[in-house]
Amino acid sequence: MTHTFYKYQGTGNDFVIMDNRNANFEKENTKLIAQLCDRRFGIGADGLILLENHDTADFTMVYYNADGNESTMCGNGGRCLVAFAKKMGVIENRATFEAIDGLHHAVIDGSIVKLQMQNVDKVQRHEHHVFLDTGSPHHVMFKDNLEALNVKKEGAIIRNGALYNEAGTNVNFVEKINDHTFSVRTYERGVEDETLSCGTGVTAVALAMHYIGETEKNHLTLKTKGGNLEVSFNKKEAEFDDVWLMGPATLVFKGEIEW
């Protein structure tokens, strides 16, 4: 059978997106999903996203990592799915949708998709790193000479290390540029490699930098290998709320594939 797919990217974080409102995708076929995401034997992507119906919201987001397993929230994926939903006529310039971590609101402003992330009320500060969950778990730490870092090697050591359980964590390496700009490189679990950008990762970095006093700004620019993202938020005592992830989300191509 021939299936239509769409390839989207948000600052280099790329996704295969499929319209599953008719519920005909083989959602339990982990091998198939991994093959579709394979860059040599499939379409190639950091993950696969399904657009599905929802009883009360505009749509449902179902996200799979490149290894074929359903995963936690993906910020850039959510932004790309909002752009796709507009293309498919599901929404106009505003959306409310449900992901694995709950309801999200989004706004499309020209080429920029703004996605409201979940509130964060728990940040763990350690001697050499910060840990927090922004829809996905993130280890955040400073690293000098970030450009020269072997992210795949260093990230895998932390992701699989004794600090975390079998599920592991995503790992973000950070270099401060100024009070409102930070460079970020991210190792993503499920991809098991560096990605050009990570939405929940840069969100975690922004909140972590504010939490540990590296900035007093509440609107930050995060520079990734795939481009710039912005994160804004409010800080109320121990909680970060009104957290927004902002950046471009672009259709790369549409195609058909058989299986």
- Domains in the chain (CATH in brackets) are 2-105+249-258 (3.10.310.10), 123-247 (3.10.310.10)
| pLDDT tens by residue, the chain, 259 residues | 999 999 999 999 999 999 999 999 999 999 999 999 999 999 999 999 999 999 999 999 999 999 999 999 999 999 999 999 999 999 999 999 999 999 999 999 999 999 999 999 999 999 999 999 999 999 999 999 999 999 999 999 999 999 999 899 999 999 999 999 999 999 999 999 999 999 999 999 999 999 999 999 999 999 999 999 999 999 998 899 999 999 999 999 999 999 9
Active site residue 37: no
Q: What is the pLDDT of residue 166?
A: 86
Host H or E run for residue 181? strand 181-188
Hey, how many other C-beta atoms are within 10 angstroms of the C-beta on 79? Answer: 29
- Nearest to residue 200, comparing CAs of 96, 26, 16, 73? 73
Q: What is the pLDDT of residue 44?
A: 98
Hey, how many other C-beta atoms are within 10 angstroms of the C-beta on 243? Answer: 22
Catalytic-labelled residue, pool 43, 74, 99, 202? 74
Tokens of 82: 């909002």
- Nearest to residue 91, comparing CAs of 76, 99, 81, 101? 81
Active site residue 80: no
Q: State the residue for tokens 């549409």.
A: 254
Q: What is the pLDDT of residue 224?
A: 98
Q: What is the pLDDT of residue 9?
A: 98
Are 182 and 205 spatial neighbours (Cβ–Cβ below 8 Å)? yes
pTM recorded for the entire structure: 0.97
Cα–Cα distances in angstroms (integers) from residue 240 to residues 80, 132, 168, 237, in the given order: 24, 11, 24, 8
Catalytic-labelled residue, pool 198, 205, 209, 220? 198
Residue 233 has, within 13 A of its CA and on its CB side, a CA count of 33
Q: What is the pLDDT of residue 238?
A: 84
Q: What is the pLDDT of residue 237?
A: 86
Tokens of 190: 């499920």
Q: What is the pLDDT of residue 13?
A: 98
